[in-house]
Amino acid sequence: MFFKKRKPQFEQTFVEVGDRKIPAKIYTEMRRGVRFSLGKNGAILRLPSLLAAASRQVETERFKAWVAERIAQSNPEKDHALGKTYQDGDQLQVGQKTYSLKIDWTENRTHAARRNHRTIHLRLTQTDSETNRLKAVRQLLSRVVAQDFLPDIERRVHELNHLFFQKNVKGVVLKYNTSNWGSCSARGNINLSTCLLFAPDDVVDYVIIHELAHLVEMNHSPRFWKLVGDAMPDYKEKKKWLKQNWQACNF
């Protein structure tokens, strides 16, 4: 008999830091110790399922104090967990391109954005929560910037494919994704995260080569890594850069 694997259960909450609310998830799971962490989308607390209620409360309060202390410090995790904030007239630097932001506040029910050359117009509703608004701004900026960068990214994908793989690339998609840098579908679609646009060109090339190699090997076997290494001998340096600098790669 086969049992369907259950998704981890968690409690969604917030940790207040000054006038900000940091998204937080509290997991209760089979584990020995308590673990605090700051992830890509907020703070995470992992508690043992056998922990007594009183101890659970103590650890939760200790977790909140830890998050507040870490956020108050000057480190890359701070901006990533809080999310960047934007004001009318700010400049957004993405790769070699600089965009000016124009922000209008409305009573509409939804947020919207459009780009006019190097100016991005954001229309933000005042009725939404700050957390939802920050999330929406990231997605809106990603979408309009992706439209500007997509032709160059498509061109580079086809150049690298022609040089090293000569496989059929059905399409190239550039979208906001914080769970991975890229993916390749069995149909030949190359999907890349707009977060990559904040990385150096050679690092972007590595991710493209990585996904193109999956058109030959849909796995991470030694043969797959040989394909990547043949195309980019120093690819491990690019992997290292992504691991060390992922916090800075976001809108």
Q: What is the CATH classification number for the domain harbouring 192?
A: 3.30.2010.10
Q: Is 96 exposed, middle or buried (0-12, 13-18, 19+ CB in 10 A)?
A: exposed
Whether the Cβ atoms of residue 217 and residue 229 lie closer than 8 Å to each other: no
On whether both 153 and 224 belong to a single domain, the answer is yes
User: CA 217, 223, 228, 234: dihedral to nearest 10 degrees?
Assistant: 160
On whether both 183 and 242 belong to a single domain, the answer is yes
Name residue, tokens 């890229």: 182
Specify the pairing of strand 20-29 against strand 10-17.
Answer: antiparallel
Confidence at residue 66, expressed as pLDDT on a 0 to 100 scale = 87
pLDDT, one tens digit per residue, over 141-170 is 999 999 999 999 999 999 999 999 999 999
Confidence at residue 29, expressed as pLDDT on a 0 to 100 scale = 87
Residues of the chain with pLDDT under 70: 1-8, 19, 39-41, 73-83
Confidence at residue 231, expressed as pLDDT on a 0 to 100 scale = 97
Domain count, the chain: 3
Predicted structure pTM score: 0.69
On whether both 221 and 134 belong to a single domain, the answer is no
Which 3 state secondary structure label does DSSP give 8?
Answer: coil
Distances (CA, A) of 163 to 6, 80, 167, 238, 240: 44, 36, 10, 19, 24
Of 36, 51, 82, the domain-final residue: 82
